[in-house]
Amino acid sequence: MSPLLEMNGLCLASGALPLVHGVSLSVAQGECLALVGESGSGKSLTALSILRLLPEPEVRITAGTIHLAGVDVAAGTADAACNLRGRVAGMVFQDPQSALHPCVPVGQAVAAIVRHHLQCSNAAARQRALELLKEVSIDDPARRAQQWPHQLSGGLRQRVALAMALAGNSQLLIADEPTTALDVTVQAQLLGLIAHLQRERGLAVLLISHDFGVVAAAADRVAVMQAGRIVETGSVATVLAAPQHVYTQTLLAAVPRLDAAPRSTERAQLASARSTVLVRTENLSVAFNGAAPVLQGVDLEIRTGEALLIVGESGSGKSTLLRALLALERPATGRVLWQRGEAGTQDPWALPPAALRRERAQMGMVFQDSLAAFDPRLPLRASVELPLRASGQVVDRARVDALAREVGLEPALLERFPRQLSGGQRQRVAIARALITEPSLLLLDEAVAALDVSLRAQVLTLLLELRARRSLTLVFVTHDLAVARMLADRILVMQRGRVVEAAPADVFFSGPQQPYSAELLRAVLPPDPVRARAVIAAAAL
């Protein structure tokens, strides 16, 4: 029996620029093939071409065949492929935020597709839609069907998208980064659901991902893509355990792992210096415009030289906590206290403005969105030099250039505008800006979340180096426990605006005390098929 999807020598090009060079792959009934690669590797375009959803004519198929259930999709027109969409293959995309029409109740959206494919009555379509919603494990489908997308969480929306992809009884599911925008616990549940559907329906799955944990959990076979080519294919166990191609090896090496030994070379010596408290909060609460508080009764201490990792899922208030620590958000109750040399601790909101500005120069901050963090109208050098100018120091060009080199940046790049740099380069500039006043405390808000795996590893390594060289105190906010494992001396777990657990990193990772932190830790997908499958099997229960 021939496989459901068979792609041979597919080439895609935008104008004269080739994007994908001769990709061949196949997916059989009931099998899950993962296509792994970093952003720009062409994996999404390859997936889109299967249903002829490419932004034609800007991006065209220039050569190759795509046999989907025996029909060559690449040969015909895009309209001819329309008949296969939803019937033979359905697709789920990355962003659940915008994947559904915002003005249609979700039940109605699913029913519309059912009605189109099955040519049945309205009532029958609605009935079938409810069954589909139930099949993708949505509780109380009758109530959910009445709701609008904006009333549903990201995980539920992604389930609805899944129901829409399956509404025409398609045999192949193409999932393009389906869990990237979701929290870890939700991610494990969704992958468990996909694995379940794969077994029950005999569904073939083509999974596009950049995350080896996701691949390990869901895939039977893996194809690794780099710059428009497939560099390695094989069963998931082989590829992850013994990668053949150099690129796969680099990628896998860059993945932060929970079970890796922490880079504790510097830690021993730093631990002794852990004496004075730099920043402290007492019963800190923050609320916006009378809404429910985003932070509630947070007590914490940041000590000289330590690396404190604040972890939590989206909406847990971890970014707000960071802003409150920097006196960017005014506390509703409680207070933040800064250590000021001999003067003792001080509430920043009680400081005169000039003193507050002086104190802030002792803290550096790196934001998540590196593009928004720089004034689009200023060349980057002006932004980097701003802290010096603001504190009335002499701007020494050589010093700025030296710092740029220290963070691994060509100084000439500083003459450019923010949009002209890549995300990784900009994040390095952001780190340079945070360090220009030589602060003792560096705070980072999801600073590597937007970066590709290999870049992420580079930036994290840079942080470790900087920390050792400058004896920095780090406060790092992240949702990624593997990143936390790599950096942390101490972990702070947040849930719904509260600190649920604070513990030294070693203690935490060997066995968290609180059920919520244990749940978080359990949901992390290691790049190891056996354990990753165990995780999603547990989550699907």
| Binding to another protein, residues 25-64 (CB under 8 A) | 51, 53
Please report whether residue 87 would count as binding another protein according to CB under 8 A: yes
Of 143, 199, 330, 357, the residue at the interface with another protein (CB under 8 A) is: 357
Q: Which is nearer to another protein, 156 or 503 (CB)?
A: 156
Site for another protein in 102-131 (CB under 8 A): 102-104, 112-113, 116-117
Dihedral sign, CA of 312, 315, 321, 326?
A: positive
Task: Assess 150 for contact with another protein (CB under 8 A).
Answer: yes
Q: Is 316 exposed, middle or buried (0-12, 13-18, 19+ CB in 10 A)?
A: buried
User: Which two tokens mark 491?
Assistant: 């972990």
Among 100, 214, 225, 524, binds another protein (CB under 8 A): 100
Instruction: Please work out, in degrees rounded to the nearest 5, the angle formed at the alpha carbon of residue 175 by the alpha carbons of 173 and 180.
Output: 155
The answer to whether residue 318 forms part of the interface with another protein (CB under 8 A) is: no
Smallest distance from another protein to CB 272, Å: 30
- C-alpha 455, offset from chain centre: 13
Q: Give the span between the Cα atoms of 314 and 321, in whole angstroms.
A: 13
Question: Euclidean distance between the first and final Cα of the chain, in Å?
Answer: 34
Q: Which two tokens stand for residue 314?
A: 């989206």
Q: How far apart are CA 152 and CA 174, in angstroms?
A: 23
Does residue 91 interact with another protein by CB under 8 A? yes
Regarding 69 and contact with another protein (CB under 8 A), the answer is no
* Range 521-540, binding another protein (CB under 8 A): none
CB crowding 45-69: b at 16 or more within 10 Å, else e: bbbbbbbbbbeeeebebeebebbbb
* Site track 390-419 with another protein (rule: CB under 8 A), x = hit: xx-------------------------xxx
Q: Which is nearer to another protein, 233 or 478 (CB)?
A: 478
In the structure encoding, which two tokens stand for residue 385, read together?
């030099």
Nearer CB in complex with another protein: 98/249: 98
367 binds another protein (CB under 8 A): yes
Residues 416-435 that bind another protein (CB under 8 A): 417-420, 433
Site for another protein in 155-194 (CB under 8 A): 161, 164-165, 167-168, 174
Candidates 33, 99, 294, 455; binder of another protein (CB under 8 A) is 99
Q: Closest distance between another protein and the C-beta of residue 360, in Å?
A: 5
Residue 170: both structure tokens together: 């398609």
Site string for another protein, 337-356 (x = CB under 8 A): ----------------x---
Pairing of strands 498-504, 345-346: unpaired
Nearest to 284 by CA among 302, 266, 299, 269: 299
Nearer to another protein, 63 or 386 (CB): 386
Collect all residues with Cβ–Cβ distance below 8 Å to 486 and sequence separation of at least 6: 256, 260, 262, 263, 460, 464
Mask: binding to another protein, 249-268, rule CB under 8 A, as x and -?
--------------------
- Taking alpha carbons only, the member of 421, 346, 416, 337 closest to residue 377 is 416
Give the helix, strand, coil percentages of the chain, each rounded to 5. Answer: 40, 25, 35
* 507 binds another protein, rule: CB under 8 A: no
Q: Which of 465-501 are b and which e, b meaning 16 or more Cβ less than 10 Å from the residue's Cβ?
A: ebbeeeebbbbbbbbbbbbbbbbbbbbbbbbbbbbbb
Instruction: Rule CB under 8 A: choose which of 124, 227, 378, 413 binds another protein.
Output: 378
CB-wise, 364 or 512, nearer to another protein? 364
Select the residue interacting with another protein from 3, 24, 40, 148 (CB under 8 A). Answer: 148
Classify 23 as helix, strand or coil. Answer: strand
For the CA atoms of 342, 343, 347, 353, the dihedral, rounded to the nearest 10 degrees, stands at -110
Q: Does 244 bind another protein (CB under 8 A)?
A: no
Q: Is 465 in the site for another protein (CB under 8 A)?
A: no
| CA angle (212, 216, 222) in 5-degree steps | 80
Here the tokens at position 216 are 């390990």
Q: Which is nearer to another protein, 165 or 240 (CB)?
A: 165
Query: What is the nearest approach in angstroms of another protein to the Cβ of residue 153?
Result: 15
Stretch that binds another protein, among 20-28, 124-132, 307-315, 361-369 (CB under 8 A): 361-369
Residue 318 C-beta: closest distance to another protein, Å: 16
Shortest gap between Cβ of 229 and another protein (angstroms)?
25
| Residues of the shown chain interacting with another protein in the complex, contacts defined by CB under 8 A | 51, 53, 82-87, 90-93, 95, 97-104, 112-113, 116-117, 148, 150, 161, 164-165, 167-168, 174, 323, 326, 328, 353, 357-358, 360-361, 363-365, 367, 369, 372-378, 383, 386-387, 390-391, 417-420, 433, 437
